[in-house]
Amino acid sequence: MSAVAVEGVWKFYGDFPALRDIHLDAAEGAALALIGRNGAGKTTLLRTIAGFSRPGRGSIKIFGDSPREVAARRRMGFIGHGISVYDELSALENLMLYGRLYGLPNPRQSALEWLERTGLERVRDGLVREFSRGMRQRLAVARAFLHGPSLLLLDEPFTALDDKAIAVLQRLLREAQAEGKTILMSTHQLREALELATHVALLIRGKVVFHGPCTAEMVSDPGFVYAKYGEQ
């Protein structure tokens, strides 16, 4: 069974199709890099896959379930543009909140474990409001990994991160990959993404113009996919 199966998905803003007849498939354990320029529809596609908005047409299956089903949501971890943690709560409180929302058997223990893995154990009782940018981003990473998702959806994960957070995220993603988890990320930072990617999909104006395995040529020359399948 595919981890993510997108079939004939259209997304409309009024009559304007932001996504046009998208077909995507990510096998379990694959790492799919979704590339394309700003405004190509990468974020829209990821958010639709994550179930934040319903597609106008077509179907999306996460391990065989629709994205809004509880079983699918339990297996998804999402990192978007915002960090999705509360400024007024401490790092530990934030993680315990999400642990409880995901119904983890021991929210406190999981939270402490992930604070350690992201190097935040010393500031666990500090309010997020007082955190530096990098710390906030690592907390966001911890939040997304907390419930042990088997599918990671990452929207431009490397864009806003500092060096340390990038290192943490890349290490975690490699571990996740080694454990057979599926990764779907949108990015225009090709170098970081292609190192991890097993597959690549290129999105231009809401359409998938290329979808296939990540080859050695792509890794050595990040512009390759654009040059070959893009318009210019």
Q: And the tokens for 202?
A: 């290129």
User: Between residues 98 and 218, which has the closer beta carbon with respect to another protein?
Assistant: 98
Residues 6+ apart with CB under 8 A from 32: 4, 24, 26, 182, 183, 184, 185, 197, 198, 199, 200, 201
In the complex, what is the shortest distance from the CB of residue 100 to another protein, in angstroms, rounded to a whole number?
5
* Residues near another protein, by CB under 8 A: 12-16, 39, 50-54, 56, 68-71, 73-74, 76, 78, 80-89, 93, 97-98, 100-103, 105, 127, 143, 205-206
Minimum Å distance from CB 127 to another protein? 7
- Comparing CB distances to another protein, the nearer of 96 and 218 is 96
User: 66: phi > 0 → left, psi -120 to 50 → alpha, else beta; which?
Assistant: beta
Residues in CB range of 13: below 8 A, 6 or more apart: none
To another protein, the closest distance from the beta carbon of 216 in angstroms equals 33
Please state the closest distance from residue 56 (CB atom) to another protein, in A: 7
Nearer to another protein, 89 or 166 (CB): 89
Of 77 and 218, which CB lies nearer to another protein in the complex structure? 77
CB of 192 to another protein, least distance (A): 22
Nearer to another protein by C-beta: 23 or 68? 68
Instruction: Report the nearest approach of another protein to the CB of residue 11 (Å).
Output: 9
Q: Considering beta carbons, is residue 90 or 187 the nearer one to another protein? A: 90
